[in-house]
Structure 1
Amino acid sequence: MVRINLLKKTVRKRAEGPKIPVRVYVIAGVTAGIACLVFAGIWISRTLLRPEPEKEYVVEKDLRPSTYSKAHAVEEVVREHDDLGDKIKRSGVLDLPYEELATAEKINYEIHFARNVCELLATTVPQGIGFRTLSGEAFRRISGETYAASRELITHMLTELRRAGVDPLPPPASVIRKTGSKYKFTFKADVEFGLNLREPFIDLELHHLTSREGLPHALQKLGMVARKNGVRLNGTPRKLSAEAAGEFRKFRYRLTGVCSYVQFVRFVQGLHEERVPCAFENFRLVAQTRDRLTFNAQILFTTLD
């Protein structure tokens, strides 16, 4: 069979007219090609081969040399100092190690040390943990022996201490032991409280310091604050030493007594409220019963010489 394409249309032949010679087509094509080449050459010469204007390079003012000159080093020190000043203005806290504080800053830090320790423990020790001993040493370290019914309570205390920026020293300085039905946590930790310049008792001009002649009155005031807050002192403070320190003199006394922990905290707070410039350089609290402890402290009075 023969397949027929029914979709193919029948094309009629056009009437033939006069024929143009092939030579005419050839000449016309050659002429058009030459014209295109000439036009292309002109375009290339005017665009691609046109010299580009020289690029100007601008030196960025923010670029710094890889090594600082002496002048730049001084600028950086000043800038760091200014940054620290801005940070202090925002937070109100001079966050420097005790050793790096200026003299007036150190004196204020020392006066606030015991109070800062009490506030730290109030915010980091959960209910259910009891202290057998608590000590503060040389304005730099705290240590203690605590007991808890569960390990979780001690873990919570550790977490809160670290959150407050206090990291207990590694073993054997800090250890957790099971003793019978309780857990015993012994720790030592270096502390840096900084200096909260917004505290009402902070005075970098040291107007709150007593004179050497006014020291007996300051000691009497200390005894009054102790009695007011239920702290029973074992007699009057006993003088340990007196030494010159530049334009100041430092007097150290032994202070011992009996009270509860709450009464001790109120005693420390009361000294601030009554503006008694007494610093607890070293102290040790030892629990006798649930509501009774003994304390032994070396207190420091810095006076204007």
Structure 2
Amino acid sequence: MNRLSRAVLGLFAAPRVNMREDYGKVRRVQQRLAALSGPRYRTAYRQTVAEVAGRLVPVRVFQPRQKRRDDVLLFFHGGGWVTGDIESYTPACATMADLTGCVVASVDYRLAPEHPFPAGLEDCFGVARLLLQEPHRAGIGSAGNVVLVGDSAGANLAAAVSLMLRDQGLRTAGRQILLYPVTHWDHDPLTSPFASVRHHGEDYRLTNTEVQDYFELYVPDPVQRRNPLVAPLMATDLSGQPASLVITAELDLLRDEGEEYGRALRAAGNEVRIHRVESALHGFIALPRFSRSLREAYEVIDDFLDGSLNGGPT
């Protein structure tokens, strides 16, 4: 990528905020933006709840304009386990439903730091377990084929849920789609094993400092951050996982760890497709529908949902 292109993309860099102090402000901004766009999507979804360990976890269910598949995409939103919710992700989920022709169920899991690890994961696992084992209690409707989907921290939660389902001997999802997932615990450019952390951790959409702030809020104990349910790449056994699609963004500091997780899944005997979206930034799943990055990603997702793992490893 030439210097001019890098300079233009640098204009889209995330504001340099201290997430440990300013996460509340970020949430409020997201809520205001969601309130502006929310009314146009209200006919696209219905609100429900799933009972998980005595708690009611909000779930927003999106119907596609034209249903083309029986799959239910169980979606866990991004935001570093600290920000984001079903309101701020409503446009992205409505787009996901329309472009895949699938029902999308978005889980409003608990956020850190008020609810640190494993609270949000327990909510996601609980909803997934209900949908897979007792769909009539999940409040979502007929389950069909369940596909776990998440972006960024949400993809981390999807990967962790898949590991938990296997470890507890429960029915697992048939497929999982991991969009630029967090899979490793170290995002310090001086110590990280991944080149993308050093090359793309300062200039663009997500920064090294921001990711490290998220980890401190989500998992206050540094030792616990190496737990495979926090950093799936640390798992010693990745067998028995769903057929997986890992999509990464070229200019994302999480790129290399996401692709490495895909290779680790494949080495453990799982079916995996890894696809890198060139010139894309972290978070592109929330871009407008005309975005090239978004359109490319959904072409790959469509192929994957149709059963194709072709396209070759990266």
Q: Judging by fraction of residues, say which structure has more strand.
A: 1
Q: Judging by fraction of residues, say which structure has more helix.
A: 2
Greater C-alpha radius of gyration:
1
TM-score (norm 1): 0.19
